[in-house]
Amino acid sequence: EAEVAQSPRYKITEKSQAVAFWCDPISGHATLYWYRQILGQGPELLVQFQDESVVDDSQLPKDRFSAERLKGVDSTLKIQPAELGDSAMYLCASSLSVGARVIGYTFGSGTRLTVV
């Protein structure tokens, strides 16, 4: 079964350092999402791509976070500088749609970030 690949699985970084996460969506899925999940809460959308274009980044803290999907395939999420409050699970997901109907939505296993 096709999977959304994410790396690294775990990351520990010191505050004020830079950190980057990588995601490879399911082949053919044009829409890619980055979510952040704080322990005990549901995932919250950070940024959504349609192919290589950003569709929604209204919840992305743009002073320190950036995301790109240069060729419309894999994507990188970067935090610089990291803060203690950024400790969370960062989840990537991709979806396939036919017209307005979503017919597949798959999450990766996530990257657990700890900022110390």
Q: Which chain residues interact with other proteins by CB under 8 A? A: 4, 31, 33, 40-45, 48, 55-56, 89, 91, 93, 95, 97, 100, 102, 105-110, 112
Three-state SS across the chain?
CCCCEEECCEEEECCCCCEEEEEECCCCCCEEEEEEECCCCCCEEEEEEECCEEEECCCCCCCCEEEECCCCCCEEEEECCCCHHHCEEEEEEEEEEECCEEEEEEECCCEEEEEC
Q: Least distance in Å: CB of 98 to other proteins?
A: 12
Rank residues 9 and 17 by Cβ distance to other proteins and give the closer one: 9
Q: Least distance in Å: CB of 16 to other proteins?
A: 26
Q: Least distance in Å: CB of 74 to other proteins?
A: 17
Rank residues 29 and 82 by Cβ distance to other proteins and give the closer one: 29
Q: Least distance in Å: CB of 81 to other proteins?
A: 26
Rank residues 18 and 62 by Cβ distance to other proteins and give the closer one: 62
List the one residue out of 66, 26, 22, 29 whose CA is nearest residue 46. 66
Rank residues 37 and 81 by Cβ distance to other proteins and give the closer one: 37
